[in-house]
Amino acid sequence: MAEVINGKLVGEEVVAKVKEATASLLEDGGAQPGLAVVIVGEDPASQVYVNSKSRKAKECGFHSEQHTLPAETSEADLLGLVEKLNADPAIHGILVQLPLPAQIDSAKVIQAIAAEKDVDGFNFTNVGKIGVGELDSAFVPCTPAGCMILVERVHGKDLSGLTAVVIGRSNIVGKPMANLLLAANCTVTIAHSRTRDLATLARTADILVAAVGRPEIVKGDWVKPGATVIDVGINRVVSAEGEKARLVGDVAFAEASENAGAITPVPGGVGPMTIAMLMANTLASAYRASG
């Protein structure tokens, strides 16, 4: 049976280090890290994520601001807020929660965030740095950064010679994840909805990352014996009428655990790491601003 990778615990370790480093930055006369989280509209899942980000920032000793805008907010008004936050010296990290309502061009908003405050790592400067392996000065997107820490807990930092398959090609997870695995010397394949014979490809992976947003699509026999399985999916499913929704990943956990060497659970795997890495990125930004 696989080792279950406890992302909640590793996330708490990261947050504890961020708290300590924040206290010593303040003692040394540096800036108090400031995080601004912006949400447009009332999507319940987004509200839960945003509230936990703001709460965790406070817990780290950060200055934490939440800007909740109505669903009908115009693109111009949102861009105006981003400009204000770009210019605010108390803010080191700006996160605009996605998805945004249809009247707003998300790409335009993401590109408007100053690169040095883009703690999500989504704008072209940060994407480009990750693409060329300039990881030290980049903001690495929080979910893939958290996945890498979990992988390193199993394999160490140098993943030379390991084969990785990333299922999913999103800009938020799949593509940056593939770049990070490549930078760590893995042989990487990105698979997606048009990939032929996904099961056979997945079985070649020493490290299998599932980031497609489809409940339990990765079956037990897709997993190579001894592989490390990282499940990025958070899917709400209701199996019977009247039953409470439960959270499942993109991996059929029980089956996959029989083949995997190590596997992340849902919940309690990648999710807590995403928030922890947002705190780490905001702290890094405050350090850079403090000179």
- Determine the Cα–Cα distance for residues 175 and 285; give it in Å rounded to an integer: 23
113 is in an annotated binding site: no
Q: Which stretch binds ligand GUN (CB under 6 A): 91-99, 187-195, 239-247, 258-266?
A: 91-99
CB of 96 to ligand GUN, least distance (A): 6
- Are the CB atoms for 45 and 213 separated by under 8 Å? no
Q: Which stretch binds ligand GUN (CB under 6 A): 3-11, 16-24, 89-97, 218-226?
A: 89-97
Exactly one of 56, 117, 118, 120 is catalytic; which is it? Answer: 120
For position 247 contacting ligand GUN by CB under 6 A, the verdict is: no
- Are the CB atoms for 186 and 162 separated by under 8 Å? yes
For position 177 contacting ligand GUN by CB under 6 A, the verdict is: no
Nearer to ligand GUN, 120 or 216 (CB): 120
Radius of gyration of the chain (CA): 19
Tokens of 257: 């655990």
- Determine the Cα–Cα distance for residues 200 and 196; give it in Å rounded to an integer: 9
Q: Which residues contact 76 (CB under 8 A, 6 or more apart)?
A: none
Active site residue 66: no
For position 270 contacting ligand GUN by CB under 6 A, the verdict is: no
- Binding mask 141-160 toward ligand GUN (x if CB under 6 A, else -) reads -xx-----------------
Q: Which residues contact 124 (CB under 8 A, 6 or more apart)?
A: 111
Nearer to ligand GUN, 211 or 252 (CB): 211
Buried b (16+ CB within 10 A) or exposed e, 183-216: bbebbbbbbeeeeeebeebbbebbbbbbbbeebb
Please, how many CA atoms are within 13 Å of residue 37, restricted to the half-sphere of its CB?
Answer: 23
Nearer to ligand GUN, 113 or 207 (CB): 113
Please report the sign of the dihedral spanned by the C-alpha atoms of residue 159, residue 162, residue 165, residue 169: positive
CB of 177 to ligand GUN, least distance (A): 12
234 is in an annotated binding site: yes
Size of the site for ligand GUN (CB under 6 A): 8
- Determine the Cα–Cα distance for residues 272 and 12; give it in Å rounded to an integer: 8
Q: Which stretch binds ligand GUN (CB under 6 A): 90-98, 126-134, 152-160, 218-226?
A: 90-98
- Binding mask 200-239 toward ligand GUN (x if CB under 6 A, else -) reads ----------------------------------------
Q: Which residues are catalytic?
A: 53, 97, 120
| Annotated binding residues | 168-170, 234
